[in-house]
Structure 1
Amino acid sequence: MTRPLVDLQTTPHGGRSLFATQPITRGTNIFACEVPFAHVIYKDYRREVCAQCFAYAASTSRSIGDPRTWSIRSCMRATAETVWFCTDECKVTWESGVIGPLIADVNALLGKAKIATRSQSARDGHDPILPNISTAQITQDYIDEAWVDVENFVSSRTLLSSYCSTMNLEDMELEISRSVASAIVQRYVIDHRLANLTASSVISSSDLWAEVLNLQSSELSNVSLRPYILKAHLRVYAFLCHSLPTHLKTYVPMARIILARDTGNAFGIWDGDSRDEMLGWGLWAGASYFNHSCCPNVEKTRVGRAMHFTTSRSVETGEELCISYIDTNQTITQRRQDLENSWFFKCRCQRCLLEEASLH
């Protein structure tokens, strides 16, 4: 049996991470995570991004007709929203699967939500789910109590129906709802064995949901930095409790788990190598075990729905395998600020420590 190139280990500095089990040469494909557990493509790009492989019409010559949109589409069910594809092959692959059509059906239901105007957003201070809060109030106990309160609130069908009938979601709240709903569909499919989903062989667990649970939660750090996000998450939870079909509603409690792990673990879905436009985001659970370094030894590349990782230099046995979460051409101050704002840690990689020392 071939010995794996990498091993998942617990570190004292960054939770669980991947390490080389033997010397690895530059350009070696060491890891692949085939599908995102949760994902969403932003509304403005849905006609331009292939629903199957995430190809972007504006950055390829394969489009027909309007160069910024795909012409191949599918609407398999009366309830489903229209989805777009770059080729007939992608359309056939998507339609022959289980998850894509189920997500489309759910997104059609979520698409009926009323979207807030700017004036509505500005005066949205009366929301009964959570009063306006300040950073001084935020503790883990406070967040836990807020979630208990919203769970009690949604347990009353009358209150929930009345609340959601007048709810005006922010655009981003609806995008977050679609992302969480895609994870709920994945979990439903896994539990009911409707599709053959397997995790990467590198990770010890073959359970995709177990991989998600093993990811580090950034809930307290995220809400402390952005107090408004707690109300948004609670509104998303209430909206999903109200809007999802009965067979999926039992999975809505997992929304908090997804939301707590999404911010620090999700990858942007970009328009190819140029990375000029972010088309949406996805949570590739196994891929999230790569820690950050400002002098990385691994490059990540999205190939269709899969996330591939390749060594960018030679790696020694026992060396941690790291990618870069940010633009490493920035100064140490800019890099650390970006990492603290989005991933909630102060970088102490070898490069940052050397540059920090040179400043003193």
Structure 2
Amino acid sequence: MTRPLIDLRTTPHGGRSLFAIQPIARGTVIFACEVPFGHVIYKDYRREVCAQCFAYAASTSRNIGDPRTWSIRSCRATAETVWFCTDECKVIWESGVIGPLIADVNALLGKGKIATRSKSARDGYDPILPNGPPAQITQDCIDQAWVDVEDLVSSRARLSSYCSTMNLEDMELEISRLVASAIVQRYVFDHRLANLAVSSIIPTSDPWAEVLDLQSSELSNVSLRPYILAAHLRVYAFLCHSLPKHLRLYVPTARNILARDTGNAFGIWDGDSRDEMLGWGLWVGASYFNHSCCPNVEKTRVGRAMHFTTSRSVEIGEELCISYIDTNQSITQRKQDLENSWFFTCQCQRCQSEEPDEASPH
């Protein structure tokens, strides 16, 4: 029996994290998270990204006729049309349960009456948060806003009236699709309609329990971006109105996903060049890796899977870290990016060594 290479531990500085429990050579794949619990491909890229393996048409030459789009597609009567890079990917996708169910749900979301709201009007009047964001953001204020939206959605008549004039930005609709895909995943798991791939390194019997174990960034996110509270409430109301009855039972899941999406999600990029971000996803087990500006692990997307490989040799007891940002930036820019997107001040070894000495003259 192969001895495990890594262990999940609680740390005083970053929640739970992964550590080496024996020496690990450079280039060792130490972790693989096979599928995202929830994901979305941006609207502008859906004809260019394979629904099964996320291959990007513009970065390949497979489709000679039009190098920026795929020609193979699935367009069942009840589902949103999706595209594939090969017939093999189409067969894999259609033989599963989750992909077609998500396509069905996305078709329903696409039929919703949505009035496009300009960015300049984002902070304007909306009955879902009539007084706008609270002047002082507290957890109590956020909790009360969610109580109020629960009251709204408890009446189908009031919910239908609100949604008939709902103003959703394009990004709010993308967020709705991400949350809906996660709801489908949970529904499928609960009804044992398919076997979800789970990590062999961090075993789990319930992927939803893993989602709840992730750190919530709700208060930090709303404090930094007060407008996001109304956006999340609109997403919630929209899903309550649009999803079929058997999935509406899971919509309360939405708040937990939205609270953990920021700070735990990974971008779906076009490849090693990372020139274009095609969407994003929540690979739950992958979120156990903490950040360092001098990481010893590299992440690579292989189809739908996220693989993690040591970038140097690692000793027993070392924490295994990836980089959340571009580490070629200055310490000032790195800290700003981490504080704005992940809500923490980096204290890694590199940042401590590069921190200016306040006592030294300017």
Smaller-chain TM-score bracket: over 0.9
Cα 1:246–1:5 change in 2 (3 A) is same
Q: Is the 1:302–1:308 Cα contact (8 Å) retained in structure 2?
A: yes
Q: CA deviation at 1:202?
A: 1.6
What secondary structure is seen at the aligned counterpart in 1 of 2:195? coil
Q: Which has the higher helix share?
A: 1
What is the one-letter code of the residue matched to 2:13? H
Match of 1:15 in 2: 15
What is the one-letter code of the residue matched to 1:28? T
Match of 1:52 in 2: 52
What is the one-letter code of the residue matched to 2:177? R
What secondary structure is seen at the aligned counterpart in 2 of 1:273? coil
| Distance in 1, Cα, partners of 2:7 & 2:122 | 51
| Distance in 2, Cα, partners of 1:135 & 1:46 | 37
What secondary structure is seen at the aligned counterpart in 2 of 1:307? strand
* 1:1-360 pair list within 5 angstroms: 1-76=1-76, 78-118=77-117, 122=121, 125-134=124-133, 136-357=135-356, 360=360
In the superposition, the TM-score normalised over structure 1's length comes to 0.97
What secondary structure is seen at the aligned counterpart in 1 of 2:73? strand
| Distance in 2, Cα, partners of 1:67 & 1:84 | 14
Q: Is the 2:40–2:279 Cα contact (8 Å) retained in structure 1?
A: yes
Q: CA deviation at 1:115?
A: 3.8
Residue segments in structure 1 that go unaligned for 5+ positions in a row? none
Q: CA deviation at 1:166?
A: 1.2
Q: Is the 1:72–1:88 Cα contact (8 Å) retained in structure 2?
A: yes
Q: Is the 2:118–2:169 Cα contact (8 Å) retained in structure 1?
A: no
Q: Identity across aligned pairs (percent)?
A: 87
Cα 1:18–1:144 change in 2 (3 A) is same
Q: Is the 2:47–2:82 Cα contact (8 Å) retained in structure 1?
A: yes
Q: CA deviation at 1:125?
A: 2.4
RMSD of the TM alignment (CA)?
1.4
What secondary structure is seen at the aligned counterpart in 2 of 1:202? coil
In the superposition, the TM-score normalised over structure 2's length comes to 0.96
Q: Is the 1:129–1:235 Cα contact (8 Å) retained in structure 2?
A: yes
What is the one-letter code of the residue matched to 1:300? K
Residue segments in structure 2 that go unaligned for 5+ positions in a row? none
What secondary structure is seen at the aligned counterpart in 2 of 1:252? coil
| Distance in 2, Cα, partners of 1:156 & 1:331 | 52
What is the one-letter code of the residue matched to 1:164? C
Q: Which moved more, 1:51-60 or 1:165-174?
A: 165-174
What is the one-letter code of the residue matched to 2:45? Y
1:280-337 deviation line (CA, Å, top 9, x unaligned): 0000000010000000000000000000000000000010000000000000000000
